[in-house]
Structure formats: structure tokens, C-alpha cells
């Protein structure tokens, strides 16, 4: 069974429907590639999927080991290359809600970042830079 349907709406815009939930996302081409930049671009969704996936896997690991990362955030910067046009790097800075994690918990958090299915599905030539900040 299909996971998502995508419909071209014209004007370099698509409507994407998650079939299980019915949730929708509109995409728009970025300004630097003939678009209006009024919605997520397809490559923005790659960066979004990366950050969401890592947070989810970190959350699963935290729950498994009896602690929480509730309130954790990530900011991801997408770096585009040319010839061919593609994402050449994702730079993600994860901010954890406090600095009271034990050294073992921090190790679990930081190691799980590289276990995310999206991380492991991206081309090995794409640079993935990940940093962690723990709030005081």
C-alpha cells in the first residue's frame, strides 16, 4: 500500500497527502530555483525528515533507558550544491532541555543520532554535521 500521494497543483507547487492520517503538506519550489518559497521545498522536507527522525530515535532510546528528552529541539541548515543541484550537507544543532543528564545518558543521546533511518538512507557523500548543546 502506498504511503503518500503527491499532486502537482501548478506553479511549481505540490500537495502531499499522508494516506494513513490524511494530513497534508504543500510544497513550493525555493526562490533560488524558480519558485516562490512560500512553503517547504522538497529538499527542505529532507532536512525536516532528518531532524524529526533523529529526535524520534533519541526519544525512543531515552524512554527505553528511563529518562526524557521532552523539549529537545533541532535546527537544521541545508547546504545546496550544484552540478548536479543537490543537498551537499545537513548541519544540525540539537539543544537538549537541561544539562542534568548523566554521562551515560549523554552518550546514549549522541550515539542514537547516527542510528536514525533517514541518516542511514542519505547518500554517504552527503556531509552530516551534528552538534549537541545541553541547556544549563
Per-block mean pLDDT, blocks of 10 residues, the chain (136 long): 96 97 96 93 96 97 97 97 95 96 97 93 95 93
Distances (CA, A) of 28 to 10, 92, 125: 10, 23, 26
Q: What is the DSSP letter of 79?
A: E
pTM for the full model? 0.91
What distance in Å separates the CA atoms of residue 90 and residue 73, rounded to the nearest whole number?
15
The enclosing H or E element of 13 equals strand 13-18
All CATH 3.30.300.20 domain ranges in the chain, comma separated: 42-134
CATH superfamily of 42-134: K homology (KH) domain (3.30.300.20)
Amino acid at each position: 500500500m502506498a504511503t503518500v500521494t503527491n499532486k502537482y497543483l501548478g506553479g511549481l507547487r505540490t500537495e502531499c497527502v499522508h494516506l494513513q492520517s490524511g494530513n497534508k503538506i504543500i510544497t513550493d519550489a525555493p526562490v533560488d530555483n524558480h519558485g516562490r518559497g512560500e512553503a517547504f521545498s522538497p529538499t527542505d522536507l529532507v532536512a525536516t525528515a532528518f531532524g524529526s527522525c533523529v529526535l524520534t530515535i533519541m526519544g525512543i532510546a531515552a524512554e527505553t533507558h528511563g529518562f526524557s528528552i521532552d523539549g529537545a529541539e533541532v535546527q537544521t541548515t541545508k547546504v545546496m550544491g550544484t552540478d548536479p543541484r543537490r543537498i551537499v550537507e545537513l548541519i544540525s544543532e540539537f539543544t537538549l532541555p537541561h544539562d542534568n543528564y548523566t554521562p551515560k545518558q549523554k552518550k546514549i543521546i549522541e550515539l542514537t543520532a547516527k542510528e536514525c533511518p533517514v541518516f542511514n538512507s542519505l547518500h554517504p557523500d552527503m556531509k552530516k554535521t551534528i552538534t549537541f548543546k545541553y541547556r544549563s
